[in-house]
Amino acid sequence: MTTELTTQTSRGLALQSFADAMKFGETVANSEFAPKDFKGKPASCMLAIQCGAEVGLAPLQALQSIAVINGRPTIWGDAALALVQSSPVCEYIREYFEGEGKTLTAVCEAKRRGYPAPTVVRFSVADAEKAGLLGKSGPWSQYRDRMLQLRARGFALRNAFADALRGLITAEEAQDYPVTQTPAPVVVTQPEPAAPQPTKAAAKEATEADMQKAKKAINATRDLGKLADFLATVNERYESGYYSAPQADELRNLIDVAMEMRNGQEVTA
């Protein structure tokens, strides 16, 4: 695997290797120049720099222009426009509005050199309403016209200059995509039959034996689902008085360590 990395630009600092990018990412992550989502995250800074380098952005430009939305790298609309306008195949970009009120429509014309006609995209108030964007808190309520303009721009630039943007969509568009969360599976378990109440001495002996059995079971598995079940059982038995607070804490700490080990194995797998 090569460690070479170039920013594809003669302006500003040129990073020539993976080590250069990582060191620069560490410097930025701990500075006031780091955007909120990159603050204290040198690895994310380095990957943003690499993503920007692939479309021709200098390191600091990349950090200011690349955003990760729902785990996907995106580019802010103004940076996308700048990249396209600097491309030798771009003849012109025109943006304007048509209509007013509910018929207001943002228009973007993107003309690629050598093509007979520009790519024209319109995005109207009606389109925004149909997409469920109007009335959303944030930019769509405060800067509706600007958001219409950015949506038309994003579609037009991607259609006409996919080679310049390399598959990046605008961050403004990505922010409007709904985030779907996969519901956790419902596990139905049969309740255990009630056991006869032991005497006080027998209860203490049974609890100590159960502690050893529980520790052995926890140490024997690294399955996150089973560990979560163990934790729920410990909490239930503590609330019922079966485990004392020190015993419950001991088992919880053991489960936490097992979960951390399992998470570490998944990351390095």
Average pLDDT for residues 62-90, to the nearest whole number? 91
Average pLDDT for residues 85-96, to the nearest whole number? 95
Q: Average pLDDT, whole number, for the chain? A: 81
pLDDT of residue 34: 81
Whether 13 contacts 38, CB under 8 Å: no
Q: How far apart are CA 220 and CA 213, in angstroms?
A: 11
101 exposed, middle or buried (CB, 10 Å; 0-12, 13-18, 19+)? exposed
pLDDT of residue 82: 94
195: pLDDT strictly greater than 60: no
pLDDT of residue 235: 81
Q: How far apart are CA 227 and CA 35, in angstroms?
A: 37
CA torsion through residues 59, 60, 65, 71, sign: positive
The least confident of 14-23, 59-68, 180-189, 253-262 is 180-189
Of the candidates 48, 88, 99, the one whose C-alpha atom is nearest the C-alpha of residue 69 is: 48
SS3 63: helix
Q: Compute CA 24 distance to the chain's CA centroid, rounded to the nearest angstrom.
A: 22
Structure-block tokens of residue 249: 């804490």
Neighbours of 199 (CB within 10 A): 9
Of the candidates 171, 153, 157, 166, the one whose C-alpha atom is nearest the C-alpha of residue 55 is: 166
pLDDT of residue 223: 76
pLDDT of residue 120: 97
| pTM check: above 0.75 | no
Q: How far apart are CA 57 and CA 54, in angstroms?
A: 8
